[in-house]
Amino acid sequence: MNRGALVAIAALVAAMVSYQFGASLAKHLFPAVGAEGATAYRLGLSAIILVLLRRPWRSSPSSAKKDWRVLWGYGLAIGAMNFVFYMSLRTIPLGIAVALEFTGPLALALFHSRRPVDFVWTALVVAGLLLLLPLRGLDKPLDPVGVMYALAAGVGWALYIVLGRKAGAAYGATAVPLGIAIGALATIPIGFAHAGTALFSLDLLPYALGVAVLSSALPYSLEMIAMTRMSTRTFSVLLSLEPAIAALAGVALLSEHLGPLQWLAIAAIVVAAAGTALSTRRPVSEDEPLPIG
């Protein structure tokens, strides 16, 4: 495996860990500003941070590569994905929401599968996700509205992957701040309509900044490094680590208990992700990774 592949894998794993720490902080914001306000905090503050750091106005991609439709699609996918995912967290547990959301990247992985071994890794992911859903252990059935929000987040996640690779190819490193800014423009009015002036509370600012950095600014930047250096299929299946990391974060940060089946699920998902990484070879045709610019 070459150095570029190792850098891409390390960036993606770091992004997923950061995302879960941010999700734990976001729970502190829900009682005060709701899922809508937390989304506005997350995207609004991360957009300000990244725009000031990256200064995207100083970059001018060639007119041949300039495609505003891809950029706006990428940004709107970010906004929609974040909004519906936080809405799902109001009524269903984090680990289950992440597992349901992963159906989007999993569908991409299946669509781009070419070799028999790819289906082995995908089957392991499916088995792990089924074990991670403790449907029988719940005191009450899952809220169907929450489930639909989580599945909608999966659709947004798939669009984020596909459009993100194209936006990264056209806009390079500026794709992330521009995309998050577009997502913020779409979600801040919704957050303000729900939470009102509570969004300006200084007491909430430390949590809001933490969520913005750990859940958006840092992981989206790291994911852009990864998604523009590996195939869509590889990126999608490696994201199978996300539910496992969410489950581990629940143990470490939220004192959640995992049973033997849940640990078996984590093992299956980790093996699938590792197998995908180790069996990666140079992709071809439409699965070719795109340069970052």
Crossing angle of the two packed helices 218-227 and 3-26, in degrees rounded to 10: 150
Block residue for tokens 């709107």: 76
Q: Which residues of 149-167 are buried (b: 16+ CB within 10 A; e: fewer)?
A: bbbbbbbbbbbbbbbbbbb
Q: Indicate whether this model's pTM tops 0.95.
A: no
Distance CA 269, CA 289 (A): 23
Q: What is the mean pLDDT of each run of 10 residues along the chain (293 residues)?
A: 80 89 84 94 92 78 65 94 93 80 78 76 80 60 84 92 86 86 96 93 92 87 81 72 79 72 78 69 42 32
Report DSSP state, residue 139.
S
Distance CA 88, CA 83 (A): 9
Q: Which two tokens stand for residue 69?
A: 């439709």
CB contact at 8 A, 71 and 179: yes
Give one DSSP letter per residue of 214-239, joined into a string: IIIIHHHHHHHHHHTTS-HHHHHHHT
Note the pLDDT of residue 64: 44
Q: Which two tokens stand for residue 242?
A: 């996300």
CB contact at 8 A, 174 and 54: yes
